[in-house]
Amino acid sequence: MAEEQTKVEPEPAEKAPAKPERTTQRRPARKDAAGNVVFIGIKPVMNYVLAVITQFNEGNGEVVLKARGRAISRAVDVAEITRHRFLKELVVKDIKIGTEEVTGDRGTSNVSTVEVTLVKGA
Amino acid sequence: MAEEQTKVEPEPAEKAPAKPERTTQRRPARKDAAGNVVFIGIKPVMNYVLAVITQFNEGNGEVVLKARGRAISRAVDVAEITRHRFLKELVVKDIKIGTEEVTGDRGTSNVSTVEVTLVKGA
């Protein structure tokens, strides 16, 4: 149950079929030094909030939310809801924005990305 | 022309009718120490990109993009397009996320916000 929640698939429309270097991001979230990753897609916000809470309850000190395109605003929602309503000790450690090339039906296009790193505050 | 581009209205659906403390955000962008502000709404991305470029060309060293709700992903698009395609010396100095209470037709609800600060790099 917990593991299924952890691996949240990106929304199908945003999948890039031919970018081998990105396949590492599709693996199930690992518990390593970089912290666990929750991919934000098109599911309801609370699904992702639950995934983040699960990560912290499993003992992780850091969780990274990753989103692309229109899911970026949902990632911000997930971060805000989690830290204001559920885990009030959470702190936004870092926010990064970037651009990825996505190869879709209509050729290559650029999509914005965001990474929000949440950590348990002191 | 340039001044009109600078003051970009937030999208109408996101306007909060009764929040007096937020009215300061509605003023035309000022050239003060805090830098100029471009509000990201529902217009096409390039409108806002042009507004940001105009701000920097007028001599501002810093421009803040502000967005709420679903416009957050557009704000990230504006930042990424501006610094990758037009002003390559720009650096993302800071990104803040937050929550605002919005009073709408169906009562009060929370909406996520983002502030992206762009500065001319060294």
List CB contacts (< 8 A) between B112 and chain A.
73, 76-77, 80
Please answer yes or no on whether B76 and A72 come within 8 Å at the CB atom: yes
pLDDT at A64: 97
How confident is residue B104, by pLDDT bands cut at 50, 70 and 90? confident
Task: Point out which residues pair with A111 in neighbouring strands.
Answer: A100
State the Cα–Cα distance between residues B92 and B113, nearest whole angstrom.
17
Q: Would you say residue A31 lies in a domain?
A: no
Please name the amino acid found at residue B93.
K
Residue A104: which pLDDT band, with cuts at 50, 70 and 90? Answer: confident
* Tokens read off for B57: 């060309």
Query: What CATH code is carried by the domain that includes residue B66?
Result: 3.30.110.20
| Average pLDDT value for residue range A88-115 | 94
> Contacts from A24-29 at CB under 8 Å and sequence distance 24+?
A25/A66, A28/A3, A29/A55
pLDDT band at B35 (very low <50, low <70, confident <90, very high): low
Residue-wise burial string across A87-98, b where 16 or more C-beta atoms lie within 10 A, e elsewhere: beebebeebebe
B42 touches chain A (CB under 8 A): no
Are the Cβ atoms of B76 and A114 closer than 8 angstroms? yes
Question: Tokens 């030094």 — which residue?
Answer: A33
| B4, part of any domain | no
Q: Is residue B64 part of a domain?
A: yes
pLDDT at B29 over 90: no
More confident residue, A47 or B32: A47
- What does the pLDDT read at residue B5? 46
Residue A55 · residue A10 · CB < 8 Å? no
Query: Would A114 be classed as within a structural domain?
Result: yes
Asked if residue B20 belongs to a domain, the reply is no
Side by side, which strands form the sheet with B107-120?
B36-40, B62-68, B107-120, B90-104
| A117 within 8 A of A95, measured Cβ to Cβ | yes
The reply to whether A60 falls in a domain is: yes
> Residue A16: its pLDDT value, please?
45
Name the more confident of A16 and B98. B98
Most A CBs within 10 A among B84, B97, B115, B117, hence the mutation to make, goes to B97
Q: What is the pLDDT of residue B31?
A: 44
User: At B100, which amino acid appears?
Assistant: E
The answer to the question of residue A26 being in a domain is no
Domain residue limits at A107: 37-120
In the predicted model, is pLDDT for residue B42 greater than 50?
yes
* Interchain CB contact of A95 with B (< 8 Å): yes
Cα four-point dihedral sign A58, A14, B51, B47: negative
**Cα–Cα dist A87/A81, whole Å:** 9
Whether residue A50 is predicted with pLDDT greater than 80 in this model: the reply is: yes
Residue B122 CB partners (closer than 8 Å, separation 6+): none
The total number of structural domains in chain A stands at 1
Whether residue B92 is predicted with pLDDT greater than 90 in this model: the reply is yes
Q: Could you tell me if residue A7 is inside a domain?
A: no
Confidence of residue B19 (pLDDT cuts 50, 70, 90): very low
The CA distance from A110 to the nearest CA of chain B, in Å, is 9
**Residue A59 φ/ψ region, left for φ over 0, alpha for ψ in the -120 to 50 degree band, beta for the rest:** left
In angstroms, rounded to a whole number, what is the distance separating the alpha carbons of residues B34 and A97?
A: 22
Q: Which range among A43-47, A67-71, B21-25, B99-103 shows the weakest confidence by mean pLDDT? A: B21-25
pLDDT at position A76 over 50: yes
What pLDDT band is residue A96 in, cutting at 50, 70 and 90? very high
Average confidence (pLDDT) over B52-60: 93
Quote the ipTM score.
Answer: 0.71
